[in-house]
Structure 1
Amino acid sequence: MKSHFTRVLLLAAFLIFANTSSADSLYGRIVGIADGDTVTVLDATNTQWKIRLMGIDAPEKKQAFGQKSKEHLSSLVFNKQVTVEYSKQDKYGRTVGKILVDGTDANLQQVKAGLAWHYKKYQKEQSIEDRTIYAQAEEQARTEKQGLWIDPDLTPPWDWRHQRKSKH
């Protein structure tokens, strides 16, 4: 019993360490907003980074609330100095990360405003704490009918993209 408990503790410690140590940080200014979950950061070396906001999926530009989501993200981050915590790139070569403006999680703010979904398909890439907070924020936005949650016929962006692909 004791050795099993020790192994569980060691595994937990490893997972916590692995989760926190694998993240890198990028510092820069937001110089572009593509949509409600993708921005461009300019770092100190004048290198542009395309950032896909981790843990969320916002409506596409041509979807209902797509423009509102983009505008809200812009109001949070555009032309501001940010820290991006990241640990991977997506299949399009974008850096996937969490954007912090003066310590405030912009990704989470998109969900709280009801202008993005918590992207549960990729939630395992988030820390357990972020995963929990984002899920709770989405549930609260839904309950309070914030932003896109006022629409009873809502199509999540991942379904919308799939529908568009199958038409072509």
Structure 2
Amino acid sequence: MTGKVTAITDGDTFKLLTKDSTLIKVRVANIDCPERKQPFSTKAKQFTSEAIFGKNVTLDYLKKDRYGRFICNVIYNDSLNLSHELVKHGFAWHYVKYSKDTYLQVLEDEAKVIKIGLWQDKNAMPPWEWRSHKKKKVKP
């Protein structure tokens, strides 16, 4: 599936207009970017925006999630994989719970070693832990 990126929601979610003028919400596969109030959230969104906003991209559709988003590998500039680029530049975690992409772990390990992006923070908290921690705080 191909289409034009019309909006960036956050580092790992965007809207795409397909060739038949259907607007779909896409969640980038196998990664998780920082949540809105986490460090590097804005930079992750900016990276995604600069990489794909207004461009035609190719989606390798995997499945729909419980929110109706299309979970996809996103290919842009003919050959770049958005999941790989976000992890490589330190703007996302490899989402091991949902991923079988071993190359993402290699990229994350390399990003940690060179302390790029979110890996500059020695206490960087994965978004799934941050969301879980936030839910626990809300409960009475």
TM-score by length of 2: 0.95
Query: How does 1:9-48 map onto structure 2 within 5 Å?
Result: 26-48=1-23
Q: Tell me, which stretches of 5 or more residues in structure 2 are unaligned?
A: none
Query: How does 1:64-83 map onto structure 2 within 5 Å?
Result: 64-83=39-58
Q: How many residues align?
A: 137
Instruction: State the identity as a percent.
Output: 41
Q: What residue is the counterpart of 1:105 in the other structure?
A: 81
The answer to whether the aligner puts 1:115 opposite 2:91 as a matched pair is: yes
Offset, 1:103: 1.8
SS of alignment partner, residue 45 of structure 1:
coil
Give the structure with higher Rg (CA): 1
Offset, 1:87: 2.0
d(CA) in 1 for partners of 2:79, 2:24: 20
Q: What residue is the counterpart of 1:162 in the other structure?
A: 132
Q: What residue is the counterpart of 1:87 in the other structure?
A: 62
Normalized per residue, the structure richer in helix is: 1
SS of alignment partner, residue 166 of structure 1:
helix
Q: What residue is the counterpart of 2:106 in the other structure?
A: 136
The answer to whether the aligner puts 1:54 opposite 2:29 as a matched pair is: yes
String of CA shifts for 1:32-78, please: whole Å, max 9, x gaps. 11111101110111111111100100001111000000000111111
SS of alignment partner, residue 51 of structure 2:
helix
One-letter code of the match for 1:112? K
Moved over 4 A (4+): none
One-letter code of the match for 2:83? N
d(CA) in 2 for partners of 1:51, 1:99: 9
One-letter code of the match for 2:93? W
RMSD: 0.8
d(CA) in 2 for partners of 1:133, 1:56: 12
With CA pairs under 8 Å and 6+ residues apart, which has the higher RCO, 1 or 2?
A: 2
TM-score by length of 1: 0.79
d(CA) in 2 for partners of 1:145, 1:151: 8
